[in-house]
A and B are shown apart, each in its own frame.
Chain A
Amino acid sequence: MTTPEVLRQHAEHAYAHELAALAEHDRYPRPPKWNLSPRAVLTYLMGGWAGETEITPKYVGEARLMEIAVATLATDRALLLLGVPGTAKSWVSEHLAAAVSGDSTLLVQGTAGTDENAIRYGWNYARLLADGPSEAALVESPVLHAMRQGKIARLEELTRVQSDVQDTLITILSEKTLPVPELNTEVQAVRGFNLIATANNRDKGVNDLSSALKRRFNTVILPVPDSLEDELLIVTRRVDSMGRSLGLPELPPALEEIRRIVTVFRELRAGVTEDGKTKLKSPSGSLSVAEAISVVNHGLALAAHFGNGELSPHDTAASLVGAVIKDPVQDGVIWREYLETVAKKRDGWKVFYNACRAVS
């Protein structure tokens, strides 16, 4: 068990009591090697009760999506979580792995530098040179480990990985086996093995999956928060906790200002105003919740150190414009259109409009 001093605990440790309670009250059949039945996994993700223990919701959003995710893992197809940055893909994948196999640590982080060894196996070269190729000289990747143990492996940012390395997965996912030609043997996956990959669908075309690989995944697209209130809640909470950890001076909560920023983000992202009456163009950036949080944080820092201590549109305008306009030409037009057709006419937005005009 990890000590409480670690900066961040794994899901299976942080929520160990919930998982235990669910396992205790779970009366539905469990697929082979699963710690919980699919229904209990769903309860773990969406929240509910296990006997007397309250299960906190891990994912706020449509239960339908989590149902598809869990059902996919219960078949032997791999699961691909897609979404723009900041839509809780990794979070969901961690909790799924923790709930299904009680282990969320079998993780491969995909980067442009991820090589085949990280997905298949590597060699302990000292041993290899001393004793020649042998099982003992083999260094298992998390994926190989999961195959042997019948657990869930996780692969983050799949589309960042080079295409030829991605295709290593094809044999693993279709044949459920990993040949080790050096030892003239193979490792066959035990029942219960599956893979959850996450990818960012804004980076399309970076290293797009080959259609052969695509076919081996069931896709679940995680959307941005559904309602303004949900998103507002996430932003205020995170800003609150981050502000404390960054040691910013305490400021009165500027809910109106935060609401306005969240509204601007949501409207531009969705391409339509909250009242649904005016359609808008969407800028090229992802305008994620995380970016909204950083705009508010930046504004708070400005207000605390240089302003009158209260978050005003003048404090947020510059970083808001920076967050929206990623492509100076295209996004500039979109932002101007937004200001002129939406912000200008809205009641109580005059100061905001002028502040934005001043810095746009």
Chain B
Amino acid sequence: MSQQIYPIRHHGPGSARSVQRALEANPPATLLIEGPVDADVLLPFLNDPALTPPVAVMAHVQGQPERSVFYPLAEFSPEFVAIRWALARGVPVAFMDLPASVTLAPKEGDSPTGDEAAGDVAAEPDAGAAPTALPSADAVRADPLALLAQAAGYSDFERWWDVLVESRGDGETVFSAVTEVMAALREAEDGQTSARDLLREAQMRQTIRAALKRGSVAIVCGAWHAPALTPEVLAREAKADLARLKNLPRVKVALTITPWTHGRLTQASGYGAGVTSPGWYAHLFATPTQVSERWLTRSARLLRGHGLDASSAQVIDAVRLADALATLRGRRLAGLDELTDATRAVFAWDSDLPLRLLSEDLFVGEALGSVPSGVPAVPLEQDLAATLARLRLKREAATRELTLDLREDAGLNRSQLFHRLNLLGVPWANAAASRGTGTFKETWTLRWDPEFSVRIVEASRHGNTLVRAAHLAVISGARRAPDLEALSALLEVARLCGLPAAADVTLARLDVRAADADTAALLLSLPPLARLARYGDVRQRGGDDLRPVFRTLLIRAAAGLLNAAHGLGEAAAQTLHSQIVQADAAVRLLDDPEASTEWVSALHALDAPGTAPLLRGDAVNRLRDREVLNAAQVQVRLAAALAPGAPPLDVAAWLVGFIGEDGQTLRHDPAALVLLDAWVVGLGPDAFGEVLPALRRALSRLEPHARRRLGEELRGLERAEPAAQLNSELGAGVVPVVLRLLGVGLPSGDS
């Protein structure tokens, strides 16, 4: 009836190898792993050839997929290695920690900062992104072994473990040494063990006691728990444990295995027991010897793949530098720190580009796990099924068209569902061109492809519900977005998906990235922002938080506008012109006084020598339209721009800017027409002759019928006076009919 404790470090490749060796040397009758006992049913899947790590054992409250716990397992996790070892040899293996049904049950005085439950989706973007198996953020609790390594002068525990354990090959004694150290550590903070830890350890001891009846037991647990699982404690606490575990509140949970990623194993992802560099650990696990050499060779090969210089000679130099650094720092083996420093000094020259290239490929070593088909459905799939039932939609392989009215809740909800699924890489519904001009109508083509089910499983790494997954997908997209344009597009997507919190995060990124952007990108980012601020109200949000961002972007754009408009070719001027038109529409749409003032002064600045004539004419027209310039001032500018002697192409471009690309200014704004007309009429015959080609050129862009109407109007202007006079008697005759049409009753007692 012997028991052997293997205190390990979660996701520690060194621990994994030591555990495996110890198990080979001393096979137990039963193997117990730290993990929820109710997840035992899932254990057989872990040895399925179709399962590729990283995966996570996941438990969630039934009907509330957002309340969940994850137990991530990577290829190099000691738990995973031990489980696979046992399953391959037919050794009974079981979990021994508190069942998830207890862990997830609402506790008395449950604090809002509850460890596991993801809680409010709208709150923190990352909260609950990776709820952890280790509940406490406390550094000592979370990774006591790393602190020991630091005390020994190693930044990297795994290398220390290598120096201490692997190279000496005496795995088993070291496990009892670790247990002793942990016992000393825990004594130091005696009485501070949390109530939850007490419960968890009581459960572990209960499981161990039961297993001991069937023979020898090997226990794989986080180092912290080891001192609480020794035979002495087992005997001492036997009675107390029974009492502790009585009448615990429980909740109905569903358990499954989901694919995981290395990215979500990193500390940066918010995972408490996360590691800094999963790629490094995977490398350590897969590479027993020549660790530095292989790591740096892989770095060099990856850099070469990106088209950067990285020769074998440099690899040799880097290895030597890493070793020299380790010696200087008093370490026997070079760790990730030394290797990173050496990589930077040897390969990077004077940019951080190589390291950035490596960070994703090598340091995180992105890997996506997969699970066999038999495992229970992921909660995201369940959530999708529930949502589809609620919205009365069916997944059919046949193509089907659906038109939605966004003014109704049902239409809006469906539209958001389609947008969210598209965002998650499940293009079930494709937007089709909608008939009619109303913005409230959307037409979709639906066609379900069986492959989408797989994509749902993949998307479930983002979150357990559609809202949560879409939310996180937008946020991770915002983090990776290369430029302002992508962010603006994402903002639009967030608006269409109805994800206000994600829109906020995107907005913040937009604000941050604005500094890198050029004027064109800044101008282009304005329209989606204005739309969100303006039409966001429909989806219950005020535009107040958007206005400051809009203003900042506008101010930045305005500051660079004059330079951007300077000395442009015709094509470039046209591009910038269309951007200005969009930005101007955005400013009008938002109708924010401060932003408008900034914009007007930027337009004012544009009306200066050197600016492309197209943009100058456009600016003058916009200022006239806003009544910043009065008729007399516009006359002066017209005269200056069209003055004889100016290059005809410039004059024509100015005119095009002034009257609009298709002359809409002249068509819709009689005042502008009068102004232009008055100026032309005022020209002497010689001067008119000189201006005529330019005028022709500008007006030739108008459609024939528009030109004809313009001509008619001009003729009307010439005999203008009588036509403009009002006959109020005739006019009054129409009033009753119009009122009837509008459905307004005539005021009584009036004829």
Binding site for B on A (CB under 8 A): 38-39, 42, 64, 67-68, 70-72, 74-75, 77, 82, 201, 204, 211, 214-215, 218-221, 271-272, 277-281, 329-330, 332-333, 336-337, 340-341
Residue from B311, B325, B515, B563 within 8 A of A68 (CB atoms): B325
Contacts of A280 in B (CB 8 A): 515
* Cα separation A214 to B354 with both chains bound (whole Å): 15
Q: Assess the A340–B350 pair: CB atoms within 8 A.
A: no
Residue from A82, A278, A329, A336 within 8 A of B559 (CB atoms): A336
17 additional contacts, CB 8 Å, given A201-B350, A220-B345?
A38-B324, A39-B328, A68-B325, A68-B345, A71-B324, A72-B345, A75-B320, A75-B324, A211-B309, A219-B345, A219-B346, A278-B511, A278-B512, A278-B515, A281-B515, A329-B563, A336-B559
B317, B324, B325: residue with the most chain A Cβ atoms closer than 10 Å: B324
Residue from A42, A220, A340 within 8 A of B328 (CB atoms): A42
Contacts of B349 in A (CB 8 A): 214, 219
A-B contact pairs, 11 of them (CB 8 A): A64-B341, A67-B329, A71-B321, A72-B324, A77-B321, A211-B309, A214-B309, A215-B314, A279-B511, A279-B515, A333-B560
Q: Assess the B321–A72 pair: CB atoms within 8 A.
A: yes
With contacts A214-B349, A219-B350, A221-B350 taken as known, whether A77 is within 8 angstroms of B555 at the C-beta atoms is no
Cβ distance B346 to chain A, nearest Cβ, rounded Å: 6
With contacts A77-B317, A340-B559, A341-B556 taken as known, whether A71 is within 8 angstroms of B350 at the C-beta atoms is no
Contacts of A341 in B (CB 8 A): 552, 555-556
Q: Assess the B350–A68 pair: CB atoms within 8 A.
A: no
Q: Interface size bucket, B side?
A: 20 to 34
Tell me the interface secondary structure of chain B in the complex.
helix
B313 CB within 8 Å of chain A: yes
A-B complex: 6 closest residue pairs judged by Cβ atoms: A279-B515, A71-B324, A218-B345, A71-B325, A201-B350, A337-B559
B513 CB within 8 Å of chain A: yes
Residue from B321, B324, B346, B516 within 8 A of A281 (CB atoms): B516
A221 nearest CB neighbor, chain B only: B350
Contacts of A278 in B (CB 8 A): 511-512, 515, 552
Cβ distance B596 to chain A, nearest Cβ, rounded Å: 16
Residue from B311, B317, B516, B559 within 8 A of A218 (CB atoms): B317
Cβ distance A68 to chain B, nearest Cβ, rounded Å: 5
Taken residue by residue from 552 to 579, chain B's Cβ proximity to chain A (1 for < 8 Å, 0 otherwise) reads as 1001100110010000000000000000
Contacts of B513 in A (CB 8 A): 279
* Cα separation A332 to B562 with both chains bound (whole Å): 11
Residue from A42, A204, A218, A330 within 8 A of B321 (CB atoms): A218
* Cα separation A71 to B319 with both chains bound (whole Å): 12
Q: Assess the B341–A68 pair: CB atoms within 8 A.
A: yes
* Cα separation A333 to B563 with both chains bound (whole Å): 8
* Cα separation A271 to B346 with both chains bound (whole Å): 27
B598 nearest CB neighbor, chain A only: A340
Q: Assess the B514–A279 pair: CB atoms within 8 A.
A: yes
Taken residue by residue from 520 to 559, chain B's Cβ proximity to chain A (1 for < 8 Å, 0 otherwise) reads as 0000000000000000000000000000000010011001
Contacts of A211 in B (CB 8 A): 309
With contacts A215-B314, A219-B345, A279-B512 taken as known, whether A74 is within 8 angstroms of B328 at the C-beta atoms is yes
Contacts of B212 in A (CB 8 A): none
Contacts of B313 in A (CB 8 A): 215
Contacts of A42 in B (CB 8 A): 328
Binding site for A on B (CB under 8 A): 309, 311, 313-314, 317, 320-321, 324-325, 327-329, 341-342, 344-346, 348-350, 511-516, 552, 555-556, 559-560, 563
Cβ distance A20 to chain B, nearest Cβ, rounded Å: 22
Cβ distance B293 to chain A, nearest Cβ, rounded Å: 15
* Cα separation A82 to B351 with both chains bound (whole Å): 11
Q: Assess the A67–B325 pair: CB atoms within 8 A.
A: yes
Cβ distance B687 to chain A, nearest Cβ, rounded Å: 36
* Cα separation A67 to B341 with both chains bound (whole Å): 10
A79 nearest CB neighbor, chain B only: B345
Q: Assess the B311–A215 pair: CB atoms within 8 A.
A: yes
* Cα separation A77 to B348 with both chains bound (whole Å): 15
* Cα separation A278 to B514 with both chains bound (whole Å): 9
Contacts of B345 in A (CB 8 A): 68, 72, 218-220
Cβ distance B331 to chain A, nearest Cβ, rounded Å: 11
* Cα separation A144 to B516 with both chains bound (whole Å): 48
Contacts of A215 in B (CB 8 A): 309, 311, 313-314
Cβ distance B313 to chain A, nearest Cβ, rounded Å: 7
Contacts of B328 in A (CB 8 A): 38-39, 42, 67, 70-71, 74
* Cα separation A218 to B346 with both chains bound (whole Å): 5
Contacts of B344 in A (CB 8 A): 68, 219
Cβ distance B415 to chain A, nearest Cβ, rounded Å: 34
* Cα separation A92 to B566 with both chains bound (whole Å): 46
Q: Assess the A333–B321 pair: CB atoms within 8 A.
A: no
Q: Assess the B317–A82 pair: CB atoms within 8 A.
A: no
Contacts of B321 in A (CB 8 A): 68, 71-72, 75, 77, 218
* Cα separation A75 to B322 with both chains bound (whole Å): 10
* Cα separation A71 to B326 with both chains bound (whole Å): 9
Contacts of A74 in B (CB 8 A): 324, 328
Contacts of A77 in B (CB 8 A): 317, 320-321
* Cα separation A277 to B509 with both chains bound (whole Å): 10
Contacts of A214 in B (CB 8 A): 309, 349
Cβ distance B549 to chain A, nearest Cβ, rounded Å: 11
Q: Assess the A219–B515 pair: CB atoms within 8 A.
A: no
Cβ distance A200 to chain B, nearest Cβ, rounded Å: 10
B329 nearest CB neighbor, chain A only: A67
B327, B329, B513, B515: residue with the most chain A Cβ atoms closer than 10 Å: B515
* Cα separation A82 to B349 with both chains bound (whole Å): 9
Q: Assess the B324–A219 pair: CB atoms within 8 A.
A: no
* Cα separation A38 to B327 with both chains bound (whole Å): 9
* Cα separation A82 to B516 with both chains bound (whole Å): 25
* Cα separation A204 to B328 with both chains bound (whole Å): 32
Contacts of A333 in B (CB 8 A): 559-560, 563
A76 nearest CB neighbor, chain B only: B320
Contacts of A72 in B (CB 8 A): 321, 324, 345
With contacts A218-B317, A279-B515, A281-B515 taken as known, whether A337 is within 8 angstroms of B556 at the C-beta atoms is yes
A279 nearest CB neighbor, chain B only: B515
* Cα separation A100 to B740 with both chains bound (whole Å): 101
* Cα separation A64 to B337 with both chains bound (whole Å): 10
Contacts of A277 in B (CB 8 A): 512
Cβ distance B484 to chain A, nearest Cβ, rounded Å: 11
